[in-house]
Structure 1
Amino acid sequence: MTAVKVAILTQPLAHNYGGLLQAYALQHYLKSLGCEVQTIDRRVSAQPGPTIIDQLCNLMRLALGRIKSMPTKARDAEMWRKLAAFRDTHLSISPELMSEEALRQYFQNVDFDAVVVGSDQVWRPRYSPSLLNFYLNFLNDINSPAKRLAYAASFGVDDWEYPDELSDACWRAGKTLRCRFSSGEIGGCVVSGQVRRFCAVGCRPDVPARHRGL
C-alpha cells in the first residue's frame, strides 16, 4: 500500500529549541504510523540583528534570573550551528521556501495527501511569515485536494492580535481546516466571522506521554 504523503507547516525552523523539538516529535510520530512526512521549511528574508528593545528584554531576563548571562554574537552563532545540525540531521525538510509564490509552486509540484499546521504558535502574527499561509490559503489558490488539519496550533496569547480585516481573511482561508478537540471543548470559536479564543485541549507531541491528560 502506498504511504500517505504528509506535509507539516510549522514555525520557521531556526533557533528555537521548543520549535525544533515539537517539529521532530510530530514528524517522528507520523512516520511511526507509516506516513511519508516532510516538514516545510517556510522562511523569511534574513532579519536584522538584535535591537535596543531586544537588549533591554535580555537585561530584564537577566535581572529576573531567567538567563545567567547576556547573549553574545559568538555564543549565539555556536547555538545556531548546533540547532541547524540537529535540524538537518533529524528532520526530513523541504528546500527553503522564501516566499508565498515559492510555497505555492512547491505544492503544485509535490503531490501531498495531507497538510498539517502545527504545533506551536503558528497562528500568531509576529511569529509566522505570511500568516495566511498558516491557514493554508495557498492550497485554495491551486485547488489542492489535500486534507487540511490543524494540530495543537496556537495563537500564543490571551489578547486578540488580529485586526478585523486579517481576522476575516484568515477565516475565509482556513474554514476548511479540521481541528480535533475533546467533547464539549471549544477549539476555534468563530463568532461573526472572527475567531475569538483558542483553547488548546490537544497535547503537543513533545510532551512526554506520562504527562498527557493532566
Structure 2
Amino acid sequence: MDKIGILTFHYSNNYGGVLQAIALQNTLIELGYDVEVINYIPQNYKPYNIIGNLGIRKNIFLNKLNNLNIFNMSKKIKIMNKYCDSIINKFNIYREKNMCLSEQVDEDSLLSILNNYSAIIVGSDQVWNPSQRKSPIYFLDFVDKYKGKKISYAPDSTIKDVNNEDLSRLNKALSEFNYISVRNDHSNEFVKTVINKEVEIVADPTLLYDFENVEKARDEEHEYILTYVLGKEINGSHNKAIEKIRNKYGNIPVYSIKIPTMNFEFSHFADKVFYDLNPDEWISMFRNAKFIYTDSFHGVLFSLKYHKPFLAYYTEKLRATRFIDLGKRYGIDKYIVQNISDIDDNKLLDILPDFNTIDKIIDLQKESSLKFLSKALSE
C-alpha cells in the first residue's frame, strides 16, 4: 500500500499541535491509509525555546517563585527544571506511543525521505503563518525533487496579507499542489491572493477524531473551573473574569493548565496549577470541567466537542483572526470577547451555547472534510 506522509507542527510541547497531528493521522488510518507523521524537527528548535535556560521566561518563573518565599536560588532552578523536564519528557513519551513517526530529519535530510510517500499532506495548524513563508518546507517547494501528490489539509495562514517579496515564490509553490484546503476564511483569502483560487474550508482534525480512550487527569473528582491561557491577559484582568464566572457557577476551585512554550508562570487567579499534564490528561481536564476560560483555539474546539460552557477571549492581533472565524463558523460570537465589559454586555454567562446547533454544523463540516481527504488521496 502507498504511504501517506503528514508534515506539520507535531514536535513542539503544545497540546493543540500534538493532538491535531494525531487526529489527522488516526483519521487517515480509519479511512484505510498507511500513514506516517514525518518527524521533521528544525535545526534551530529547542524544547526550552521560549523558557530559555537564561531567557526571559526563566526570569519570570524565578520571580514568581520569589513571591512564594522560596529564597534559595538553587532550589528555584531545581523546581523550574523539574517542571520543564517533566513536561518535555511526557510529550516525548506521548508522541512515541501515539504517533507513527518516520525517522527524524531536519532541513538537510528531509529530502532523503520525501519519496517514501506517494502523497504528503501539509497541515493542520499554523504551518503557513508569516514566519514560515521564506522556508520551502511547509509549502513543499522542493523544485522537482518530490514526485508524489501534494495536499494541504486545514493549514492556517494566521493572517491573509502577503508580502510582495514572497508572492512569486509562494505562487509557484501553491500552484504545484494537487489539492488545497484551509481551516478558515482568512487562510482562504491568503490562498486567493497567492494563486487567485477559492479553496475548500475544512474542519480542524481534532473535530474529526473522537479521542475516546484517554488517560484520566489528576484531581478532577469534583467540580472545577478550568483555565487554559496562552497569551496576554484579558483587558480588565483575569481576576475580574474569574470572579464573574464564580458568581455564576459557584465558589468552586479554579485549575490552570500551563505549557512551557507559552505562559509558563504561576497563575495568581488559580487554586491549583498543572505544569506537566500529558495530552490525554489535558483532554480529560477539558472533558470533566464545569466551565472553561481560555484564549486557545483548540481550547475552544474541545469546549465545543465536550459541550462545555466557556468564555474565550483574545487581545493580540495575531490571535484575532482565528477567534473571529471560530465565532462566525460555529455561531459562538457572543462567547468570544476582547474585554471584561463584553461578558455582561453579551450575557454570555446567562445563556448556554446551543450545542445541538453547533453539533449539526460540526457534523456537516466533518462530512465534507472527510470527502475532501478521500477525493484528494484517491484521484
Normalised by the shorter chain, which TM-score bucket? Answer: 0.7 to 0.9
Q: In structure 2, what is the Cα distance between the partners aligned to 1:82 and 1:205?
A: 22
Match of 1:87 in 2: 95
One-letter amino acid matched to 2:31: L
Paired residues, what number?
190
Structure-1 separation of matches of 2:14 and 2:186: 30
Please tell me the root mean square deviation across aligned C-alpha atoms, in Å. Answer: 3.6
> 1:166 Cα deviation (Å)?
2.5
2:114 alignment counterpart: 107
**When you count helix as a share of all residues, which structure comes out higher?**
2
Q: Secondary structure at the match of 2:152?
A: strand
Q: Tell me, in whole angstroms, the C-alpha distance in 1 between the residues paired with 2:167 and 2:61.
A: 32
Q: For residues 23 and 72 of structure 1, do their structure 2 counterparts lie closer, same or farther at Cα, with a shift above 3 Å needed?
A: same
Cα distance per residue 1:155-185 (max 9 Å; x no partner):
12x363x542233212212212212479x99
* 3-state SS, counterpart of residue 166 of structure 1: helix
With normalisation by structure 2, the TM-score equals 0.43
Q: Residue 9 of structure 2 aligns to a residue in which SS?
A: coil
Q: Separation in 2 of the partners of 1:6 and 1:212? A: 30
CA contact (8 A) 2:23 2:206 kept: yes
Contact 1:14 1:84 in 2 (8 A): no
1:150 and 2:148 matched: no
Q: Is the 8 A contact 1:44 1:129 kept in 2?
A: no
Alpha-carbon deviation of 1:25?
0.6
Question: What SS does the aligned partner of 2:150 have?
Answer: strand
Distance in 1 of aligned mates of 2:134 and 2:102: 18
**Cα distance, 1:87–1:137 mapped onto 2, change above 3 Å:** same
1:134 aligns with 2:133: no
- Checking the alignment, whether the CA contact within 8 Å between 2:40 and 2:104 is kept in structure 1 is yes
- Deviation per CA, 1:101-156: give whole Å up to 9, x if none: 31111124x2x111100000011243x59732101112x331x3311111110112
- The letter for the 2-side match of 1:190 is K
CA gap of 1:189–1:7, structure 2 versus 1, over 3 A, is closer
- Give the C-alpha shift of residue 186 in structure 1: 8.0
8 Å Cα contact 2:10-2:21 kept in structure 1? no
Residue range with higher mean Cα deviation, 162-171 or 204-213: 204-213
Matched with 2:180 is: 179
Residues 154 and 200 in structure 1, CA contact (< 8 A), matched pair in contact too: no
Q: Equivalents in 2 of 1:102, 1:173: separation in Å?
A: 20
CA 1:20/1:185 → structure 2, altered by over 3 Å: closer, same or farther? closer
Q: CA deviation at 1:18?
A: 0.8
The unaligned stretches of length 5 or more in structure 2 are: 63-78, 211-304, 306-358, 363-379
Indicate the residue corresponding to 2:28 in structure 1. 30
Residue 213 of structure 1 aligns with which residue? 361
Task: Report the AA paired with residue 147 of structure 2.
Answer: P
1:132 and 1:57 map into 2 onto residues whose CA distance is 35
Does the 8 Å contact 1:4/1:113 carry over to 2? yes
> In the alignment, what sits opposite 1:67?
none
- The whole-number CA distance in structure 2 between the counterparts of 1:82 and 1:137 is 33
What is the TM-score of this pair, normalised by structure 1?
0.73
Deviations 1:159-214 (A, max 9, x none): 63x542233212212212212479x99824434x478xx99831111126764725
Corresponding residue for residue 118 of structure 1: 123
- Residues 1:39 and 2:48 aligned together: no
Give me the identity figure in percent. Answer: 23
Which structure features the higher share of strand residues? 1
| C-alpha displacement of 1:52 | 4.9
Q: Cα distance 1:206–1:186, how it changes in 2: closer, same or farther (>3 A)?
A: closer
Over 3 Å counting, the alpha-carbon distance change for 1:56 and 1:132 in structure 2 is: farther
Q: Which amino acid in the other structure matches residue 14 of structure 1?
A: S
Where 1:173 maps in the other structure, the secondary structure is helix
Bigger radius of gyration among the two: 2
